[in-house]
Amino acid sequence: MLIRIGFEIALTAPAPVPSIIALSTHPDAPGRLIGSGKPRSPAGLGMTESWDIFGNVKHRLTLPAGETRLWSDCAVEQDGVPDAVVPEAVQHPVEDLPMAVTQFLKPSRYCDSDALMDFAWAQFPAGPSGWDRVQRICDFVHGHIQFGYHHGRSDRTASQALAEGRGVCRDYAHLAVALCRAVNIPARYASGYLGDIGVPYAGPGDFCAWFEAYIGGHWYTFDARYNVPRIGRVLMVRGFDAGDAAMMTSFGSNRMTLFRVWCEEMPAMSDAEVMDQLERRPEAEALLNLDTAA
């Protein structure tokens, strides 16, 4: 299966703004990339590339005064199989976990699992553990949080999401991660592309947050917002929580005026034909468009 992925973002700044962006595909993203999954910028705007401790690809740049457009457009060839479902995956005793994995048992800025211990053990007591327990956590979070872009808030923690019962995809992921950690299941936050492939159209494209739990000796993908296995997921970033996976971190004032994301299945074609398609950005519907020139 061929999937075209990309974005276009317009940012306006009153003065130069140093920034760090995490808008590349992750080296661990499954599939074969055709073209470049890295962000592109106008000529003369330099970007330097680096990697953080989670393997996320990040770029440093300084937004000039005025408008700057960043974009990416490429294709990935995947097997077209939905997220794995492995009911036999067991929860490991903490003493048997690899040391590198135990760090994902600790509370973090947005996943305040220490504040949810009593609730988590009462709601998800010992019993069928591993896959079943993580799925029960997903079922709870999926039914508890009401989704809405107008509910988005950048400083909401997992415990606040539990108390408020509303949020966006990152809040579903944060609450599920925190509840997993509270019952001693390592969990980490993840984000990337997830289009409406194999499901009905759900509106303009956006980046999506999900999470990964360590059970049965492997990291497995779970998605508390949609709560069903999906096709065409493309990882961009992962970490303890959204603080490690922010799309953009700016050290100064700027305003986003255009934001559009595409993640859509392409018909079968050769690599040369794909590259020809990538010469022209698609007419994807914008999630945000405050720029009349767009």
pLDDT digits (tens, 9 = 90+) for 227-281: 999 999 999 999 999 999 999 999 999 999 999 999 999 999 999 999 999 988 8
pLDDT score of 15 more than 80: yes
The tokens for 198 are: 């194999």
Q: Which residues contact 240 (CB under 8 A, 6 or more apart)?
A: 103, 104, 106, 108, 109, 111, 188, 189
211, 138 in Cβ contact below 8 A? no
Rounded CA gap, 279 and 263, in Å? 16
Which tokens in the block code for residue 102? Answer: 């135990």
Give the residue-averaged pLDDT of 38-49.
90
- pLDDT value for 291: 61
Q: What is the mean pLDDT of residues 73-90?
A: 97
Around Cβ 179, how many Cβ atoms within 10 Å?
A: 29
What percent of the chain shows pLDDT beyond 90? 90
**pLDDT-derived band of residue 292, with 50, 70 and 90 as boundaries?**
very low
Both tokens of residue 128? 């069928």
By mean pLDDT, which of 108-122, 218-232, 275-289 is the weakest? 275-289
Residues 181-200 have a mean pLDDT of: 97
The predicted pLDDT at position 185 comes to: 97
Is a pLDDT exceeding 80 seen at residue 207? yes
pTM of the model: 0.95
